[in-house]
Each structure stands twice: as C-alpha cells, then as structure tokens.
C-alpha cells in the first residue's frame, strides 16, 4: 500500500474540502480562513493546532502578498513541509542498538514491533525482541508468534515477572549473541502516571547499566483513529519518559490523517513511520514532504 492509497480517506476529507473551499472563493478573505479552520478541525488537526496553522498560513499569504486562492495550495504545502522539518537525533550507536517501544494497549504496538523487526531483518540484521510487558500471557505469546514469523529471536519470562528482569536478561542475550538490534516491548496498560514512569525508568536504568547509551531510541506508538486521545497519550509518555520518535498506526483506516499535523505542531517529535495495514510489510517511513504531497498533490 502506498502512502497516497493509505491516505485515500484523509485525502478525500482534506483535499476534497480544500478544493471546494478554493473553488467557492474568488479571493482569500476572512471567511476563507474561518472555513479553513473548520476543515482542519474536522480532519483531527485539533483546535489549537488548527488555529495556529491558520495563523501561520495567513502570515505566509501576507508575506507572499497574495489573496489568490490559486496560490493557496503551494502555501499550504510549504507550511506543512516546514512543520515536518523536526530535527531527528541521530546518535552514534555501539551495537546492539536498543529500541524501547512504548504505547498503550490496542494502538498496534505488537504489530509495529513486528513490522520494525521485519524491516531490520530485511536489512540483514540480527534481531532480538524482548517481552518486557509481562502483564498478560496472551500478549507475550502474540509477540512470540510475530517474532517467529519475521525471523527475530525472542526473550521473555512468564507473565507477572518483573519487566526490568526481562530487560536485564535480554541485554545479556543481546550482548553475548552479537545482536544488531533489540526491541524492548513495555507495559501497555495505562495505569497511573506515577507507576508508568517508575516502570519505564527502571527499565531504562537497567538498559543503560547493561549497555551505556541504551536505550538509543524511545519509540511511541499511537493510533491515528483515536484522534485527540493519541495526543494526550503523546503528552503523557513524553512527560513520563521522553519520546524520541513516533510511529502512527492505522492511518489506512481513517479519514483523519490531520492527526499527523497535530502531533508535529504540538510536540515537534518526528514521526518516523506510519502503519498502513495489519501485515508486516505495511509500514512506511514517514516523510513530511511526501505526506504534504500525498495530501495535496
């Protein structure tokens, strides 16, 4: 599935409505901006980001000295490309690279770990998946099934074990086994923020102690179909433990791809991949420029 196909419903929603907006206005005026704000909010850009984005577009139009709707598409595309230009931290990594996977249950975290592991396998990497979300036996089994399917090795303990112990042992396995990359799954239930912080901090400390520099990346998985919930989860996890990257799942099923814009504007955390389906191949690297084109091109 290509990004443009995955985004078909978002395109219909945003592009279709923006086209109609442009067609119905001889020039860009106050009413135009109001209607634009409404379209953005409907597409799940969110209230605050929609206001902000409209403000920035007004400024861009003013600077360009244009009130011609025909010029608007370019302005919007340029603005989106600017928004997505979040700096990506790329640190030098001594293998194994350790990737902490965070996010609440149901967002597609397990599937995303499988997809990322599959990508790494396709690049010829030796991959370990560690089940440090020890809450449900079924979830551990599910992760193991995926690990087998994508050709990754798997480390787990029985349900109810200390997640930090899983992380500890997995690091031994990874260091001794010459692994290139380790994906560490973490608790997906949204209990109190304090518990969540403590558990994640404990895992981080263990990883760091075992392998200085680890975890090299903390990847938050959020579900595009949950709109504003995805934003509150991002805020929570970012405050609790810091988020380096975001993977946005289920962008195929939703007409509300505007969430991509909201995440970029509110947090400045780069979205590195988007999920466009349930299979291991259904993961696309995310590029803001491409996204802007897919949306508007």
The CA-based diameter of the chain, rounded to the nearest angstrom, is: 68
Considering the rule CB under 6 A, would residue 10 count as an interface residue with ligand GDP?
Answer: no
Does 186 participate in binding ligand GDP (rule CB under 6 A)? no
Q: Is 119 in the site for ligand GDP (CB under 6 A)?
A: no
Binding mask 250-269 for ligand GDP (x = CB under 6 A): x-xx----------------
CA atoms within 13 A on the CB side of 5: 6
54, 110, 134, 233: which one contacts ligand GDP (CB under 6 A)? 110
Task: Measure the CA–CA gap between 68 and 58, rounded to whole angstroms.
Answer: 12
- SS3 of residue 283 by DSSP: strand
272 is in an annotated binding site: no
Q: According to the annotation, is 187 in a ligand binding site?
A: yes
- Closest to ligand GDP by CB, 69 vs 275, is 275
Residue 270 binds ligand GDP, judged by CB under 6 A = no
Q: Does 188 show up as a binding residue in the annotation?
A: yes
**Beta carbon nearer to ligand GDP, 12 or 278:** 278
Which whole-number Å values give the CA distances from 289 to 41, 46, 153, 214, 219, in the listed order? 21, 21, 35, 30, 21
Contact 187, 135 (CB under 8 A): yes
Residue 109 annotated in ligand binding: yes
Q: How far apart are CA 1 and CA 278, in angstroms?
A: 11
Return d(Cα 279, Cα 215) in angstroms, integer: 27
Give the pairing of strands 271-275 and 283-285. antiparallel
Site string for ligand GDP, 153-172 (x = CB under 6 A): --------------------
- Please tell me whether 36 is known to bind a ligand: no
At which residue do the structure tokens 């962008």 appear? 251
Reading phi first (left if > 0) and then psi (alpha if -120 to 50, else beta), residue 166 is in: alpha
Task: Work out whether 288 is an interface residue with ligand GDP (CB under 6 A).
Answer: no
Any contact of residue 6 with ligand GDP (CB under 6 A)?
no
Q: Which is nearer to ligand GDP, 99 or 276 (CB)?
A: 276
Q: Toward ligand GDP, which CB reaches closer, 18 or 248?
A: 248
Give yes or no for a contact between 218 and 89, defined as CB atoms under 8 angstroms apart: no
Query: Which residue has the CB atom at the shortest distance from ligand GDP?
Result: 275
Q: Rule CB under 6 A: choose which of 4, 66, 81, 105 binds ligand GDP.
A: 105
227 is in an annotated binding site: no
Give contact residues for ligand GDP (rule: CB under 6 A).
Answer: 105-111, 188, 249-250, 252-253, 275-278, 282
């Amino acid at each position: 599935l290509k990004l443009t196909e995955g985004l078909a419903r978002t395109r219909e929603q945003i592009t279709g409505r923006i086209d109609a907006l442009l067609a119905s206005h001889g020039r860009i005026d106050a009413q135009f901006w109001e209607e634009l704000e409404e379209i953005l909010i409907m597409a799940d850009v969110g209230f605050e980001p929609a206001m902000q984005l409209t403000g920035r577009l007004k400024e861009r139009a003013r600077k360009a000295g244009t009130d011609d709707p025909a010029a608007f598409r370019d302005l919007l595309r340029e603005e989106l490309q600017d928004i997505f230009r979040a700096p990506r931290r790329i640190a030098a990594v001594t293998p194994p690279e350790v990737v902490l996977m965070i996010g609440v249950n149901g967002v597609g975290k397990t599937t995303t770990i499988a997809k990322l592991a599959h990508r790494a396998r396709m690049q010829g990497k030796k991959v370990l998946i560690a089940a440090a979300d020890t809450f449900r036996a079924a979830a551990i089994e599910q992760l193991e099934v995926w690990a087998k399917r994508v050709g990754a090795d798997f480390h787990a303990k029985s349900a109810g074990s200390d997640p930090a112990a899983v992380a500890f042992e997995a690091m031994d396995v990874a260091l001794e086994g010459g692994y290139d990359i380790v994906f560490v799954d973490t608790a997906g239930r949204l209990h109190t923020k304090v518990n969540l912080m403590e558990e994640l901090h404990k895992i981080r400390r263990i990883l760091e102690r075992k392998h200085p520099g680890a975890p090299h990346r903390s990847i938050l998985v959020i579900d595009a179909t949950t709109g504003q919930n995805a934003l509150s989860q991002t805020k929570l996890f970012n405050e609790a433990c810091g988020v380096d990257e975001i993977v946005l799942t289920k962008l195929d099923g939703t007409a509300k791809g505007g969430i991509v814009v909201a995440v970029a504007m509110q947090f400045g955390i780069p979205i590195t991949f988007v999920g466009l389906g349930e299979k291991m191949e259904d993961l696309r690297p995310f590029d803001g420029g491409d996204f802007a084109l897919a949306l508007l091109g």
